[in-house]
């Protein structure tokens, strides 16, 4: 097996953990390239698997870095949550020999292309989680129009708007009140941020449609930002349009036995956990009193 080793060396512990893991990895596979600076063109390094050291942010960067040559990703969590990177270094050492033997499955997930168009710019970015249009200082309300396949669907007035993939539905969109989507769905969820209307609710729509967001109105001194996967940023005016569509490639995630999507929801987000009920006193407790 040929692997790439990626990560963000600027995060605490990544470079040190890479140094500890590399001798172990070389016992089991061929490492064709190591990039902890996230600066290389990965399309020139053919590999069977990409090992990403860090948290979910490192995986999002790796997905964009691989571009239109997506290689299956196995994430090693060195961050706080690790929703996508659900193995710690000890668990990796335990399961990696089985991975090399092919004892794993690959799940494919929707990615998007985001096109930002303005008077003097045209920028295309590949993404995995979501795009968010966010009001900045002095935090005025902004008015946006959502257009699907050329038809105006709805107007939104509030703090912003999120268009998320199923993978991203457990991130920013969830915090803004959006639903959790099954990760294998071919759909986007549109989630308004603090809408100034009782009738604005998240909407789930087909990923085969073209989503366009137009800035209908904003205050002259307002700031409006486009944020892609929490990492790529751009400034918007009323002369800009943002278009989101399905990317021609899919993100490929390696899943090892015993690690499923719903287990991750339970373990990482405590989804479906019962309330922390107060324990009723027992007869023995009452006698001690």
How many domains does the chain fold into? 2
277 occurs within a structural domain: no
Tokens coding 201 = 């609710």
How far apart (Å, rounded) are the C-alpha atoms in residues 58 and 60? 5
- Encode pLDDT of 78-126 as tens digits: 877 677 887 889 999 999 999 999 999 999 999 999 999 998 889 999 9
| Residue matched to tokens 């486009």 | 226
265 occurs within a structural domain: no
Which residues form the catalytic set?
A: 56
How far apart (Å, rounded) are the C-alpha atoms in residues 228 and 133? 9
pLDDT tens, the chain, 289 aa long: 999 999 988 888 899 999 999 999 999 999 999 999 888 888 888 999 999 999 889 999 999 999 999 999 999 988 776 778 878 899 999 999 999 999 999 999 999 999 999 988 899 999 999 999 999 888 889 999 999 999 999 999 999 999 999 999 999 999 999 999 998 899 999 999 999 888 889 999 999 999 999 999 887 777 899 999 999 999 999 999 999 999 999 999 999 887 677 777 777 777 777 766 666 666 655 555 5
Closest CA relative to residue 96, chosen from 31, 28, 48: 28
How far apart (Å, rounded) are the C-alpha atoms in residues 261 and 61? 21
Look up the pTM and report it. Answer: 0.88
Say yes or no: 11 and 136 in one domain.
Answer: no
The H or E element that residue 68 is part of is none
Structural domain ending residue among the three candidates 57, 75, 103: 103
Say yes or no: 82 and 168 in one domain.
Answer: no
254 occurs within a structural domain: no
Could you list the residue range(s) of the whole structural domain that residue 197 is in? 111-248
Question: 157 and 145 in contact (C-beta within 8 Å)?
Answer: no
- CATH code of 218's domain: 2.60.200.30
């Amino acid at each position: 097996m040929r692997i790439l080793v990626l990560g963000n060396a600027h995060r605490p512990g990544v470079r040190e953990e890479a140094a500890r893991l590399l001798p172990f990895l070389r016992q089991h596979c061929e490492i064709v390239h190591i990039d902890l600076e996230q600066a290389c063109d990965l399309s020139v390094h053919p590999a069977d698997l990409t090992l990403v050291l860090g948290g979910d942010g490192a995986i999002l960067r790796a997905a964009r870095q691989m571009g239109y040559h997506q290689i299956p990703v196995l994430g090693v969590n060195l961050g706080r949550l690790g929703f996508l990177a659900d193995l710690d270094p000890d668990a990796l050492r335990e399961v990696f020999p089985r991975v090399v033997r092919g004892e794993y499955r690959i799940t494919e997930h929707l990615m998007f292309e985001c096109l930002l168009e303005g008077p003097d710019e045209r920028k295309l970015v590949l993404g995995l989680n979501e795009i968010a249009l966010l009001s900045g200082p002095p935090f005025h309300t902004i008015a946006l129009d959502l257009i699907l396949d050329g038809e105006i669907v709805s107007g939104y007035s509030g703090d912003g708007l999120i268009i998320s993939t199923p993978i991203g539905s457990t991130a920013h969109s969830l915090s803004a009140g959006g639903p959790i989507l099954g990760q294998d769905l071919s759909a986007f969820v549109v989630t308004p941020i603090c809408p100034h209307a009782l009738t604005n609710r998240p909407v789930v729509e087909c990923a085969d449609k073209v989503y366009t967001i137009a800035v209908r109105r904003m205050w002259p001194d307002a700031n409006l930002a486009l944020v892609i996967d929490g990492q790529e940023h751009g400034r918007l005016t009323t002369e800009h349009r943002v278009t989101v569509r399905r990317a021609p490639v899919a993100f490929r995630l390696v899943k090892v036995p015993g690690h499923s999507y719903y287990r991750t929801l339970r373990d990482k987000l405590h989804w479906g956990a019962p309330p922390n009920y107060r324990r009723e006193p027992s007869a023995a407790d009452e006698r001690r009193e």
